[in-house]
Chain A
Amino acid sequence: MQGEQYLNPKRIPTIWCPGCGNGIVVHAMMTALDKLSVPSEDVIFVSGIGCSSRTATYAACDNIHTLHGRALPVATAIKLVRPDKKVIVMSGDGDSLAIGGNHLIHAARRNIDLTLIIFNNSIYGMTGGQVSPLTPSGKRGTTAPYGSIEEQFDTVKLLEGAGASYIARSGVSFFQPTVKYMKNAVSHNGFAVVEVITQCPIYYGRMNKHKSPAEMMQWQKENMVSLEKAEKMTEEERSSKILMGEFVCKEKPSYIEKRASMFKELCK
């Protein structure tokens, strides 16, 4: 398998349920690192808590499994002392947008040089299927048995408003585009985020009447469209689809660059 060298074979198979999409996100990241030829000793994986956050512990790279919602502040600290390393945060939708939401907007505002991968399974997997800030309106979770009456966050708009300089969205059924966005995110200067829609067949799938993990992935094929395709659609056709692609990619001085130039100035 491409990228196998970034996986710790002693920890595979993972604890994830059969058909859980998390492993596909990990496979895409390891493939992206392989394509970029990043040595594994130059990568540090940081995670919070959640099913998806187990990722850090499967990597054959330096890694740290922190507290729920706190992966970004820990990653920020690591990047400040080791700006030469690629610091990659692997986080769930609850981890990054609920309990960690405040850290998220400030990481974006600072444009700190981190890569954040959001595993969007629309639910809290680890704790039993509670709704998250990314549960679509009307969908069920154990805390919303009749359907969620809340509106979900739009990760792209939220992060763009907060100042992130690279934002992409993909899904686990689209492996090649996911690898491409991850490559671009890891190479980006500044705060780079890739939201990957993935399936939790055990909670989200069961509660929302999805038949199988494969059916959940086929659903993505039918319901996600690229920005290029969406341009040719009518407003009405577009409104029922989830858009994917690179939404924001801009050059903007990153926190690490600004700090370096300030140090240089002060040492004159």
Chain B
Amino acid sequence: MKKNKIKIHKLRCKSCGICVSFCPKKVLAQDESQRLYVLDPSECIGCNICSQVCPDFAIEVIQENEEN
């Protein structure tokens, strides 16, 4: 089964919300203090849009084959 790992570089992220707005599957969200978090990783389709719209090189999606 395929599993995508969403990696947020916390020290780079500026909480602009662009990736949240562009993710087609609503995988990403921001908390009350605008901090970015992954809402539901199982919904991620690995389209990489979040990484392409991020202005701060702060999010990447690594497509992995789950072992066993």
Binding site for B on A (CB under 8 A): 1, 4, 7, 12-14, 16-24, 27, 172-173, 175-176, 212-215, 217-218
Given contacts A1-B60, A214-B16, A214-B20, contact A22 B53 (CB under 8 A): no
Q: In the complex the two chains form, is A13's CB within 8 Å of B55's CB?
A: no
Binding site for A on B (CB under 8 A): 11-12, 14-18, 20-22, 51-57, 60
Report chain B residues within 8 Å CB of A7: 57
**Closest A residue by C-beta to B12:** A13
A33 to B56, CA, bound (A): 18
Q: List 13 A-B contacts (CB under 8 A).
A: A1-B60, A4-B57, A7-B57, A12-B56, A13-B56, A21-B55, A23-B56, A24-B53, A27-B54, A172-B53, A213-B17, A214-B16, A214-B20
Q: In the complex the two chains form, is B55's CB within 8 Å of A19's CB?
A: yes
How many A-B pairs have beta carbons closer than 8 Å: the answer is: 63
Contact check: which of B11, B17, B55, B60 meets A23 at CB < 8 Å?
B55
* Least distance between A165 CB and chain B CB atoms (Å): 28
Q: In the complex the two chains form, is A217's CB within 8 Å of B53's CB?
A: yes
Report chain A residues within 8 Å CB of B52: 24, 27, 175-176
Report chain B residues within 8 Å CB of A18: 14-16
Q: In the complex the two chains form, is A217's CB within 8 Å of B12's CB?
A: no
